Structure 1
Amino acid sequence: MFGFTIVWSGQLISVLASTMTQFALTIWAYEKTGSATALGVISMAFIVPFLLLSPIAGVMVDRHNRKLMMMVSDLTAVTATFGILLIHAFGELQLWHLIVASVVNGLGNTFQWPAYSAAISTMVPKEHYSRTNGMMSLVESAPGILAPILAGILLPIIRLTGILTIDVVTFFLAIFALTVVHIPQPVKSEEGKAGEGSIFKEAVFGFKYIFARRGLLGLLTFFIVLNFIIGLSANLFTPFILSRTDNNSVILGAAQSASAVGAVIGGLLVSLWGGFKRRMTSIFIGEALTGLFVLVVFGLGRSLPIWIVAGVLGSIFPVFTNGASQAIWQSKVAPDVQGRVFSARRMIAWSVGPITPILAGLLADYVTEPAMQADSWLAAWFGPLVGTSPGSGMAVQYLLTGVAYMLTVLLTFLFFPTVRNLEDIHPDHDQVK
């Protein structure tokens, strides 16, 4: 666990700085364009490289030294940040620069996620998978508490250039942490040997592996549907808050920090407790409560106190569901094929990624927002709940997707035993003879 903790610490510091950069650049982009669609385009640019190159990345992770793959992915990401820093320093920063940088960041993440996820399986014992996944969730959530506040304080003082500089420096700290830690390579399994061959054969191996296992495929499909539903609203977080508060970045930062507090609490609970013994129980309960707080309660809110309550409570439960899901995959899939399988899994799961940010923005800009500010049936139905001021249309999207989200969880639990009983259907990889 010591080596993992060193790598984890480097990532925690680096992600804190990167989250500050993301916060500052998001405000910059929205102030320049005033468009939720523009923010969706930036999000889409991050996802597209992953969808195109993910199978190849999985092959590279399984074929080559995983520490090297982790370092290369970090270097790719810092290149994008350094490029934005230089362009901004010369006063030439434009929206399309952020889109290009998002593409490069997406390319780095394509290799980073499967490499880091697979490395956990060789760095820590199986009984600690849930705990380490809880710690990794803290890397994603803990910076969200401090980053918006720090960025809000530092932005007027050191400007965007200073924020970007901090980000670049911390990237190299994370890379240094990798250099001093030993990351074991996985032992070859029979499945791994059977999947060896050309790049094409190895690239499709991950997909064949998943589709040959009904329980894992069902779990993946379950999350795809939920990701699509929540994406129709969650991508509107920033424009929703800003439109409700007359572009108040302080309230936006506080709301983001509140969500991060919940995620940190969830991460600490998972790290200490590990969740229910039956991991699918954690997933079903957690997802139902996620839909309630992240979408329904949050959408009904018109002030910071409601958003804080919804953000804190709604961010606790996804940590349990994601940690439980990741532990299931790490337990069921042999470590030497996890790069390919995890890349295929994430590529399939993110297949809706390029669609939802754009669709969410278009629905808000051209359908729900205009409808809620006019004499329409939508305003008549939902006006008493969310009002008819700017942001009310996006609130309707939150409410409707929240109901759909919770119904999906309920129907899956009741009518899909392959998913419900996944842990009994497929043995752990160390139990396969």
Structure 2
Amino acid sequence: MVDALSFVVAALVLWQLHVPTPPRQDARAGLKRDLTYGWTFILARPALLNLLLTFTLFNLLTVGSGVLRPLLLTGTLADDIAAHAWTPSTALAALYTTLGLGSVVGGVIISAWGGLRERRTLGILIPLFVAGLAQALTGGTHSVLIASAGLVVYGLMTPSAAAHSMSIWQSQVPPEVQGRVFSVRRMLSQFTNPISTAAAGLAAAHLPAGAVLSWAGVAAAVICGLQLLNPAVRSLDDPAPSIHPEPTTG
């Protein structure tokens, strides 16, 4: 019922919005060029490609955490659960409730704030860096409360990163080609999700779930930290000359 209500609310919000449909500039381009246009556009812009690869790797290292968190109940968190006379169900509910609470609060904050108007890449990379460390904390601690705190922080950070990323893409990509470019963007950023889920399961069969979570979180934080030093990514904060010209196709 709660899920159904959330979909109704989302539909009502969309119903009140005007979503423009810009006219195509190349109406007779054909299906083949439609299928390749998004790839060509992104590959011709190293800054956007680097940003996309950052999210792709972050998803690879974090999406599988959904498989690993329940295994913490019989691993690193088992003694703490027993010491407080909790049940595994209670502990798991605490983990996922705090994660959801953090995500909701993070979404409300970025919606009310509106995000950074300048240096928007900091609004992506710093939250992702902190989220990676929060995942590492969740996997490394022996306390349910600290693990829950790590999940709150993780949930708080991801809406900011997603919002700032979308802001950059919308400002860098002409409206009339956003559908073609964004479809490729979404596929590349999320094709690692099933790979991450499968890899997490395989890793947990041979290694402690907490260790896998921690090292994956540290790796995600390191990648985002290095991207803070990447001049190609930082150039996304400059005025975008790429919003108008078409990419060359040779």
Query: Scaled by the length of structure 1, what TM-score is found?
Result: 0.49
More helix by percentage: 1
Contact 1:298 1:311 in 2 (8 A): yes
1:267 aligns with 2:107: yes
Deviation of the 1:198 alpha carbon = 2.2
- Residue equivalent to 1:291: 132
CA–CA distance in structure 1, aligned partners of residues 227 and 171 of structure 2:
22
Q: 1:395 to 1:194 in 2, by over 3 A?
A: same
- The amino acid across from 1:207 in the alignment is W
- Residue equivalent to 1:281: 122
Structure 2 counterparts to residues 66-81 of structure 1, below 5 A: none
Deviation of the 1:282 alpha carbon = 1.2
- The runs of 5 or more residues in structure 2 that have no matched partner are 82-86
- Residue equivalent to 1:305: 145
CA–CA distance in structure 2, aligned partners of residues 175 and 254 of structure 1:
26
CA–CA distance in structure 2, aligned partners of residues 265 and 334 of structure 1:
31
- Residue equivalent to 1:320: 160
Contact 1:195 1:205 in 2 (8 A): no
Structure 2 counterparts to residues 27-426 of structure 1, below 5 A: 167=4, 173=8, 177=12, 181=16, 183-188=18-23, 192-194=24-26, 196-241=28-73, 244=77, 248-276=88-116, 277-293=118-134, 295-365=135-205, 367-368=206-207, 393-414=208-229, 416-424=230-238, 426=240
CA–CA distance in structure 2, aligned partners of residues 282 and 324 of structure 1:
6
Q: 1:427 to 1:305 in 2, by over 3 A?
A: same
Q: 1:272 to 1:304 in 2, by over 3 A?
A: same
Deviations 1:231-266 (A, max 9, x none): 354542234346645872232122111112222222
Deviations 1:133-177 (A, max 9, x none): xxxxxxxxxxxxxxxxxxxxxxxxxxxxxxxxxx4x875x46973
Q: 1:417 to 1:259 in 2, by over 3 A?
A: same
Identity, % of aligned pairs? Answer: 29
Which fold has the larger relative contact order, with Cα–Cα distance below 8 Å and residues 6 or more apart in sequence?
Answer: 2
- The amino acid across from 1:407 in the alignment is V
State the Cα RMSD in Å: 2.9
Deviation of the 1:305 alpha carbon = 1.0
SS of aligned partner of 2:121: helix
Q: 1:272 to 1:185 in 2, by over 3 A?
A: closer
CA–CA distance in structure 2, aligned partners of residues 219 and 296 of structure 1:
22
Deviation of the 1:272 alpha carbon = 2.0
Q: 1:235 to 1:334 in 2, by over 3 A?
A: farther
- Residue equivalent to 1:52: none
Deviation of the 1:213 alpha carbon = 1.5
CA–CA distance in structure 1, aligned partners of residues 18 and 242 of structure 2:
22
CA–CA distance in structure 1, aligned partners of residues 15 and 238 of structure 2:
39
Q: 1:265 to 1:177 in 2, by over 3 A?
A: closer
Deviation of the 1:357 alpha carbon = 0.7
Q: 1:195 to 1:403 in 2, by over 3 A?
A: farther
- The runs of 5 or more residues in structure 1 that have no matched partner are 1-13, 18-166, 369-392
Deviation of the 1:432 alpha carbon = 7.2
Contact 1:196 1:202 in 2 (8 A): no
- The amino acid across from 2:63 in the alignment is G
Deviation of the 1:343 alpha carbon = 0.9
CA–CA distance in structure 1, aligned partners of residues 227 and 121 of structure 2:
12
Query: Scaled by the length of structure 2, what TM-score is found?
Result: 0.82
Contact 1:195 1:202 in 2 (8 A): no
Deviations 1:334-373 (A, max 9, x none): 22322211110011112222211111101101x10xxxxx
